[in-house]
Amino acid sequence: MDLYEHQARQLFAEHGIAVPRAEVVDNAAAARRAALRLGGRAVVKAQVRTGGRGKAGGVKMAAGPAAAALTARQILGMEIKGHIVRTVMLAEPVDIEAEFYVSYVLDRASGTFLAVASAQGGMDIEEVAATRPDAVARIPVDPAEGVTDDKAREIAEVAGLPPEAAPVLSRLWQVLTREDALLVEVNPLVRTTDGEILALDGKVTLDDNAAFRRSRWGGAETAGPHDDPLESEAAAKGLNYVKLDGEVGIIGNGAGLVMSTLDVVAGCGARPANFLDIGGGASARIMADGLSVILSDPEVKAVLVNVFGGITACDAVADGIVQALETVRLTKPLVVRLDGNNAARGRSILDSRAHPLIQQATTMDDAARRAARLADAA
Give the residue numbers annotated as catalytic, written as ranges. 101, 185
**3-state class of 174 per DSSP?**
helix
Question: Which 8-state DSSP code applies to residue 314?
Answer: H
Coil vs helix vs strand at 249:
strand
Q: Can you tell me the distance from the alpha carbon of 171 to that of 297, in angstroms, rounded to the nearest whole number?
A: 39
| Secondary structure letter of residue 371 according to DSSP | H
Distance separating alpha carbons of residues 59 and 310, to the nearest angstrom: 50
**Number of neighbouring beta carbons within 10 Å of residue 362:** 12
Q: For residues 268 and 248, give the distance between their C-alpha atoms in angstroms, rounded to a whole number.
A: 11
| Beta-ladder partners of 199 | 189
**E strand or H helix that includes residue 239:** none
Question: Which residue type occupies 259?
Answer: M
Asked if 104 and 172 count as a contact pair (C-beta separation under 8 A), the reply is: yes
